[in-house]
Structure 1
Amino acid sequence: MTAILDKCKEGDRKAQFELYNQYSKAMYNICVRIVNNLEEAEDILQESFLSAFKNLHQFNGSSSFGAWLKRIVVNHSINHVKKRRLDLVEMEENNMSSIPEKEEKDIDLILNIDRIREAIQLLPDGYRIVFSLYLLEGYDHREISQILSISESASKSQYSRAKKKLKDILQVSL
C-alpha cells in the first residue's frame, strides 16, 4: 500500500486510478447513506477523491488510508447536506422487474431490506446522518459529536430519535 500511495503523491495517474478502484465502491455507499441521493453521491465521491489526492501529503499513516479517506468522504457528505438543508429527499423507486425469479422467501427478504432502506431515506437529515454514522459506519457518539460539531448527548439523542422514528415509519408501512 505504501508504494501505491507514494506513486499517488508523485501524481501517478495509474496509481491514483488503482487506489480509486480499490476504495470507490465502499466510499460511494457511505455518500449515498449520508446524502440520500445517488447523483449527488457520485459528485461528492469525485470531490472527495480529488481532495484526498490533493492532500495526500497530509496522510501520516497514523490510521489506515481507508480510515483517512472515509473521514474525508464523511466530511464532504455532511458539508453537502448542511448546504442543502432539506428535510426529505426524493426516494428512488425500486424496479421490481429487475429482480430475477427467486424463491418467495428471498423476495420477501429483498422487500424487507428495501422497506428499511426507504424508511431510512425518509428520516430527517440530522437523524439519518447520526443513524448512518453510528449504526452503518461504526463511529461512536464521541466521534460523531466531533464530526458534526454537536454534543455527545445530542448525538445520542438524535440516534435514539432516529430509531424511534424509523420504527414508526416501518409500522405505518406494514
Structure 2
Amino acid sequence: METLSYQDVNHHVINRCKSGDNRAQYELYKLYSKAMFNVSMRITNDYAEAEDVLQEAFISAFKNLHSYKAEASFGSWLKKIVVNAAINAVRKRRAELVPMDERTAGEIADEVYDDDTDWQVEKVRRGIQKLPDGYRVVLSLYLLEGYDHAEIGEILGISESTSKSQYSRAKKKLIEIMQEPMLVA
C-alpha cells in the first residue's frame, strides 16, 4: 500500500534542518513561534510557563525532526508537540498544588476598552483564564485548537465522554463567570 505524503510549503527549510543547518532551525522557529506560543499560552494560562513550554517543544521537535514524515503539515506536527508539552506543564503544576488563580491574579492588568467588541473579547478571554485547569484545557483544545473529543481524550488520557462532559461543564462555568461584573481600572 502506498502512503501519501504532504508537501509542506516550508519543506526546503525542514530538509535543511534535518541536515543539521542551525540557521534553518532559526528560520523554522521564526515561522512558527508566535502561533505555537499562542497555543501554549491558551493551555498554560501563564506567560512565563508558555515561553518555557515553547522552548522545550522546539528543542524536542528539532531532536525528533527525523520522525517527521510529512504526512501532515509541519505546523500540525509541531502543534501536537506544543499541546503535549503544555498539558504536561499544567499537570506538573497541579502536582505541585499551586492554584492557578493565585499565580496570575496580580499579573493580569485591567484595561479600559473604548470599543464594546474589544471589551466583550476581553471579558471572554478573562473568563477562560478563570476556569479551572481541566475545564480550560478541554475548552481550549476543542474550541480554539480544533481537536475533537476523541482526540482530546487521547491527548489527555481520558475517555471521549469525559472530554464532552468537561467541555459542557466548562461552557456552563464560563457563562457563570461571564455574568459576573468585570472590574476595570
Q: Same fold (TM over 0.5)?
A: yes
The letter of the residue matching 1:118 is: R
Structure 2 residue 184 is the aligned partner of structure 1 residue 172: no
2:63 maps to what in 1? 54
The letter of the residue matching 1:22 is: L
Distance 2:144 2:44 in 1: 14
Say how many residue pairs are matched. Answer: 167
Contact 1:88/1:123 (CA < 8 Å) preserved in 2?
no
The letter of the residue matching 2:100 is: L
Displacement of 1:3: 1.6
1:143 maps to what in 2? 151
Q: Summarize deviations over 1:96-123 as a string: whole Å, max 9, x none.
A: 38x7xxxx4x2x2222211111110110
User: What RMSD, in angstroms, separates the aligned Cα atoms of the two structures?
Assistant: 1.5
Distance 1:173 1:73 in 2: 34
Distance 1:20 1:71 in 2: 15
Distance 2:99 2:128 in 1: 12
Distance 2:180 2:51 in 1: 32
Q: Summarize deviations over 1:73-99 as a string: whole Å, max 9, x none.
A: 0000000000001443314423538x7
1:125 maps to what in 2? 133
Distance 2:108 2:155 in 1: 31
TM-score, length of structure 2 as denominator length = 0.86
Structure 2: segments with no counterpart, 5+ residues: 1-9
Distance 1:128 1:93 in 2: 17
Contact 1:115/1:170 (CA < 8 Å) preserved in 2?
yes
> Mapping of 1:52-131 within 5 angstroms?
52-85=61-94, 86-89=98-101, 90-91=104-105, 92-94=107-109, 96=111, 104=114, 106=115, 108-131=116-139
TM-score, length of structure 1 as denominator length = 0.91
Distance 1:15 1:95 in 2: 40
Contact 1:9/1:56 (CA < 8 Å) preserved in 2?
yes
Judge which range, 82-91 or 64-73, deviates more. Answer: 82-91
Structure 1: segments with no counterpart, 5+ residues: none
Higher helix proportion (structure 1 or 2): 1
